[in-house]
């Protein structure tokens, strides 16, 4: 579950320093807003448009009509933001990403080449390099009883101290359509989740989540 295990190449995000300075990825979540704000102020205006306060969009990014972007937000090189996207701020989107129609982002980091292409909610979450969320899959970021989120891996329980914490996806993770990742879910690299799943806890690297009671190694 540590940063070094979840993300093999920190150069695949402009937020590499946050991950280099912390042990667990959820420790980054409270720092996203201030980091994006500070980074944005340093971006060269010959490479990034600055259409509104604390919003920076790479000139090569493709933005379709009918989107909303609040700051602080950075949209990376070659990224595509499709109609109906709702970006609520404290968001860092990497290079070559797809933010799809009716997708909502809030307080999150998307590494390079991440795809959230259709009707996704990504709040208080981190999505690793080349991770992909199928249509309608969401990161649920608040527990129903509003208690602090923990991360559970078998008998191991990690206290996060966070009331809002969605999911952490490692590199090359695949999430099936219409799945719900419950608060504090961690999907390790090269794991995948079946469509229509309800996921809680940790899915180990290289495994397939078929149900909460059936998590099997990939062949």
Report pLDDT for 167.
Answer: 98
* Res 143 pLDDT > 90: yes
What confidence category does residue 219 fall into, taking pLDDT thresholds of 50, 70 and 90? Answer: confident
Report pLDDT for 89.
Answer: 94
Q: What is the CATH number of the domain that holds 72?
A: 2.160.10.10
* Res 131 pLDDT > 90: yes
* Res 8 pLDDT > 80: yes
* Res 125 pLDDT > 80: yes
> What is the pTM assigned to this prediction?
0.96
Report pLDDT for 218.
Answer: 87
The stretch 24-45 carries a mean pLDDT of 97
What confidence category does residue 100 fall into, taking pLDDT thresholds of 50, 70 and 90? Answer: very high
Report pLDDT for 1.
Answer: 85
Residues with active-site annotation: 118
The parent domain of residue 131 ranges over: 3-217
Mean pLDDT across the chain: 97
The stretch 58-64 carries a mean pLDDT of 98
pLDDT 10s digits, 170-180: 999 999 999 99
Report pLDDT for 154.
Answer: 85
For tokens 């402009």, the residue is: 14
* Res 77 pLDDT > 80: yes
Report pLDDT for 54.
Answer: 96
The stretch 125-147 carries a mean pLDDT of 97
Q: How many domains does the chain have?
A: 1
The stretch 89-102 carries a mean pLDDT of 97
């Amino acid at each position: 579950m540590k940063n070094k295990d979840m993300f093999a190449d920190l150069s695949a995000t402009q937020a590499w320093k946050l991950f280099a300075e912390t042990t667990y990825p959820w420790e980054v979540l409270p720092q996203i807003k201030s980091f994006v704000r500070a980074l944005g102020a340093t971006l060269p205006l010959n490479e990034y448009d600055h259409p509104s306060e604390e919003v920076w969009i790479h000139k090569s990014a493709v933005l379709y009509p009918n989107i909303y972007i609040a700051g602080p937000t950075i949209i990376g090189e070659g990224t595509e933001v499709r109609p109906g996207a709702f970006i609520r701020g404290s968001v860092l989107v990497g290079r070559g990403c797809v933010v799809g129609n009716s997708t909502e982002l809030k307080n999150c980091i998307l590494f390079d080449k991440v795809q959230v292409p259709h009707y996704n909610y990504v709040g208080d979450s981190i999505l690793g390099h080349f991770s992909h969320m199928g249509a309608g899959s969401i990161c649920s970021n608040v527990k129903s009883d509003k208690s602090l989120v923990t991360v559970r891996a078998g008998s191991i329980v990690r206290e996060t101290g966070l009331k809002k914490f969605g999911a952490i996806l490692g590199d090359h993770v695949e999430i099936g359509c219409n799945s719900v990742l419950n608060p504090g879910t961690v999907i390790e690299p090269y794991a995948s989740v079946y469509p229509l799943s309800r996921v809680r806890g940790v899915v180990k690297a290289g495994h397939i989540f078929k149900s909460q009671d059936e998590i099997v190694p990939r062949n």
